[in-house]
């Protein structure tokens, strides 16, 4: 990486939690300079404006979440059920880290999306679509192998899982009580066992 690329990455990493906690619209240039210790000139030397910083930071935050979640779908989990269980376990084990960094970056950015920041809204929409597609593909593979019910709609169930997780995170973050996220995760496990998996008698 060149010096300019390193500086740009430094700014993104130093402000990642700040944007996710304070908000992509509310984080000011002064907040960025304070978090990084750099001058406004240095910031503008690497980014066209504050919105460009926000977009790059969102991409970084969403990318980190995706990278961590993808571990649940690795080859060490041989069955599609095991992959879904590992995915749920990821949230069960890492909720403290997620909350300490402001919560789910996708949900946080989604609540801020408006006509005044269409570029961010576009990126958030793509992130959710990618997340749903990833889970949907797992379900489809399970259907092909006979592990999951062939008659279910993979995309609908994938969307349902995402909605339940995001709802659990929202309530737990707002109330500062993890029970709501755990309630959502417990219900998702029921959905996997009773509605997605093939009933083998």
Domain boundaries, the chain: 58-196
Instruction: Give the CATH superfamily of 58-196.
Output: Tetracycline Repressor, domain 2 (1.10.357.10)
With a CB cutoff of 8 Å and minimum separation 6, the contacts of 22 are: 31, 102
84 has pLDDT over 70:
yes
Q: Quickly list H helices, 47-79.
A: 50-70
- Please, which pLDDT band fits residue 136 given cuts at 50, 70 and 90? very high
- pTM for this model (two decimals): 0.87
Round the average pLDDT of the chain to a whole number and report it: 90
User: Hunting for tokens 């929409």 — which residue is that?
Assistant: 125
């Amino acid at each position: 990486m060149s010096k300019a690329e390193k500086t740009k990455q430094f700014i993104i990493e130093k402000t990642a939690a700040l944007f996710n906690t304070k908000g992509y619209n509310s984080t000011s240039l002064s907040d960025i300079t304070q978090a990084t210790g750099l001058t406004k000139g240095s910031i503008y030397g690497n980014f066209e404006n504050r919105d460009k910083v926000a977009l790059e930071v969102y991409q970084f935050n969403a990318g980190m979440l995706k990278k961590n979640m993808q571990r649940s779908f690795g080859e060490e989990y041989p069955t599609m059920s095991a992959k879904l269980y590992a995915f749920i376990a990821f949230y069960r084990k890492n909720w403290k880290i997620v909350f300490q960094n402001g919560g789910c970056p996708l949900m946080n950015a989604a609540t801020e999306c408006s006509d005044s920041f269409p570029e961010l809204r576009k990126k958030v929409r793509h992130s959710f679509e990618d997340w749903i597609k990833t889970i949907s593909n797992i379900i489809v593979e399970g259907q092909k192998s006979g592990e999951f019910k062939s008659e279910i709609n993979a995309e609908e169930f994938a969307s349902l899982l995402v909605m339940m997780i995001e709802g659990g995170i929202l309530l737990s973050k707002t109330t500062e009580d993890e029970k709501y996220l755990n309630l959502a995760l417990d219900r998702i496990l029921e959905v996997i066992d009773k509605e997605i998996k093939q009933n083998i008698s």
